[in-house]
Structures are given as structure tokens and as C-alpha cells.
Amino acid sequence: MTIELTERSEKLLEEFMARHPERSAPEIIEKVLLDAAGNERTCGTMTPQEAVDDIRELRKGVTLGGLKIKDLINEGRRY
């Protein structure tokens, strides 16, 4: 497969490679594509109900370590 880059894309790729000489162009492009594929679901494609369900799933098991929100608010007022 042959990929043609725009002038701007080529310049951005060259700048990135100059800062990260340990990475090759194919590695950089693959990482960007993988990141884009992972973010695809969160880029406005969720329905409101899916977003709510996602938030509820993410918060499971997340605690304040026994602290109450009121205690944290009062602690913040001290400083």
C-alpha cells in the first residue's frame, strides 16, 4: 500500500520523528491509527443512555477511602 501525505502531514511526521528518533514512520502512523480507533467510540457516537451506562460502569469500585465529600469540602476551606 502506498500512502501519499500532504505537505503539512509530512512536515508534522518529520518533526515528530526528529523529536523521537527511536521510532520509525510506520510505528508512529500505526500508533496514531490505533489511538484514533480507540477514541472513535467516545467521539460523539454514544447515545445519552450509553454514556450514562459507561459512567456508571467506570465508577464501580471507585471510593474516597472512607472519607465523606463534606469532609473533603471542609478540608479545602482550610487552605
> By 3-state DSSP, what share of the chain in percent is helix, strand and coil, each rounded to 5?
65, 0, 35
> How many other CB atoms are found less than 10 A from the CB of residue 68?
9
Quote the pLDDT of residue 39: 66
Quote the pLDDT of residue 78: 85
Domain residue ranges of the chain, discontinuous segments joined by +: 7-78
Q: Could you read off the pLDDT of 20-60 as tens digits, one per residue? A: 889 899 999 998 888 888 765 555 678 899 999 999 998 88
pTM for the full predicted model: 0.44
Gap between the Cα atoms of 59 and 65, Å rounded = 14
Quote the pLDDT of residue 61: 82
